[in-house]
Chains A and B, each alone.
Chain A
Amino acid sequence: MKSRRIMALLVLTSIILVTLDLQGSAATKSLRSIFGTVFRPVESVARVVTRPATNAWFGITHYNDVTAENELLREKIAQQEGAAVAAAASVRLSQELLALNGLPTLAGINSVSAQVIGDSPSNFVQSVEIDQGTESGIKVGMPVLNAAGLVGKITQVFSNRAVVMLITDPQYALSVKIINAPKTTATTVPGGDPASEVTIVSVPETIDPQITVPTVPATSNIPGFTPGTTVAPRTPIISSSLTIPPGTNISVRETGILEGRGAGRVPTVRFVDAAQRFGVVQPGSPIVTAGGSLSLAPPDIVVGTVSRVKERLGTAGPLLEIDIVADLSNLSFVRILLYQPITERTAP
């Protein structure tokens, strides 16, 4: 009988704690904060004491992988050194253009750097802890990046630490853009010698270069911004003409929702509209954040690339599996954008 009472008491206590915490009670937050302060030295000691054993474990289990990865990385660095210079110039140009047209850019958002000080000690939670908190201006909902791309978002903040939910967590969802390369037609000119075959890659199939596309004033909403070459002179009439110059490959974009799927599983993008103009999504197409007033992150943060496309029947659209560019298993330093989405703001 006493045993049942104790069990009932246990369940009741736990339910009260869960309820208080889900309601955002200050008492549970304080409890976590105090416990974090008390536990931090214990954890530090444990880390120092167990480091040799941890290193030995990694040495045994990952030595071959690390050696192979090291060689691969050296090769990649050599390849990318040149490309990085060109890419940096392109990014600068792009940001200048965006700023010129009054569009938001990542360069205009302040950020805080932080060190990752721990993973979630659980088999079912995908999160990491960082060493910066409210004292650095960090708030719940802020996006977290590393040098490669998006890592996750802040879910809990304390005075000098915070918890980051990774984008692989099943609770994580974010609107993203898939930048699909336009379909191109390849014309092969047969010749006597196979080596002399010439392949001509022409304009995107979906855009006829001979057609003058009438546009509505929506394209001229941004002052001074004209995509392509405007043929028709600006007149008071409602429709104007826009000619896409031949040979220009314009990337087409479509939005979808990225969702984490837990440990060991790659995130997916759903609700991608299978529009004719968008064409078939190609593996390797980059995925970036969509932005928007209700989005969890500002636009154009790199998330990953499409690794696999699963076609689905009906209007469901394709399901895209994503290779995340950020290596979430080996996070050391991250950057928190001081951008709090409207949806994560709490009433004062």
Chain B
Amino acid sequence: MASRWTRLVLMSLMFLGLQTTILNDMRPFSVMIPVMLLFAVTAGTLYGSEVGAISGLIVGVMYDCVLSTPLGLASLVFGAAAYVAGLLPFFVREPTWWTRAIAIGVVGAVGELVFPLAQSMVGLNGHFQPHVVGVFVFVTVIGMLIAPLLLPVCRWTLKESIVG
């Protein structure tokens, strides 16, 4: 049986395939659904900060490889977002599926906003524009909507196995 990290890499490859094809073409309100980021954040809400941060790092590095931004930027943002999402039990004692959905939407949107901020930190200025407000609102809503789909997928992907 494959370890949770092997499953994570394979599942991330599949999500990356969706991200670079259908989700890249279908942009409602001119905003792309950042499914990779939302997947990393889901890992954080389900399995806590530590697993979230590592998952975010792995998913982020894979995403970095198809972007033209410096390698490590997305992994930093995804890892940090998943880490923050893992702090959910500090705010909600026993998180239910819908509190997790809200957390995925909000943290995912904040993570998406942090990305242009991180870009400006390495000298790639000019991406923080009024457009980001629309991105924030859209990603929050879409994150909450697709969270019920991401939660079982992520739960299966990162479940403890004999090897893992």
Asked if B68 and A127 sit within 8 Å, CB to CB, the answer is yes
Is A212 in contact with chain B by the CB < 8 A criterion?
A: no
Of A69-77, A90-98, A114-122, the stretch lying at the interface with chain B is A114-122
Asked if B71 and A42 sit within 8 Å, CB to CB, the answer is no
Kindly name the residue among B25, B50, B122, B135 whose own CB sees the greatest number of chain A CB atoms within 10 A: B25
A13-B57 Cα distance, complex, nearest whole Å: 9
Asked if B126 and A22 sit within 8 Å, CB to CB, the answer is no
**Known contacts A6-B50, A18-B72: does B20 contact A123 (CB below 8 Å)?**
no
A43-B60 Cα distance, complex, nearest whole Å: 17
Residues of A within 8 A of B57 (CB): 10, 13-14
A165-B127 Cα distance, complex, nearest whole Å: 14
Number of residues of chain A lying within 8 A (CB) of chain B: 53
Chain A residue, CB-CB nearest to B19:
A121
Task: Please pick, from B17, B48, B76, B86, the residue contacting A45 in the complex, using a CB distance under 8 A.
Answer: B17
Give how many A-B residue pairs fall within 8 Å (CB-CB).
165
Task: Please pick, from B32, B54, B65, B116, the residue contacting A31 in the complex, using a CB distance under 8 A.
Answer: B65
A15-B19 Cα distance, complex, nearest whole Å: 25
**Known contacts A15-B76, A124-B115: does B69 contact A39 (CB below 8 Å)?**
no
Chain B residue, CB-CB nearest to A4:
B49
Asked if B131 and A20 sit within 8 Å, CB to CB, the answer is no
Chain A residue, CB-CB nearest to B77:
A14
Chain A residue, CB-CB nearest to B16:
A39
Asked if B30 and A43 sit within 8 Å, CB to CB, the answer is no
Decide if the interface of chain A is mainly helix, strand, loop or mixed. Answer: helix
Residues of A within 8 A of B19 (CB): 121
What are 29 pairs between A and B in contact, CB < 8 Å? Answer: A3-B83, A7-B49, A7-B53, A10-B53, A10-B57, A10-B75, A10-B83, A11-B80, A13-B75, A15-B76, A17-B61, A17-B64, A17-B72, A18-B70, A18-B72, A22-B70, A39-B16, A39-B17, A46-B17, A54-B25, A54-B26, A58-B25, A121-B20, A122-B69, A124-B119, A125-B69, A171-B124, A260-B126, A261-B126
Chain B residues near A (Cβ < 8 Å)? 13-14, 16-26, 30-32, 34, 48-50, 53-54, 56-57, 60-73, 75-76, 79-80, 83, 86, 112, 115-116, 119, 122, 124-127, 129, 131, 135
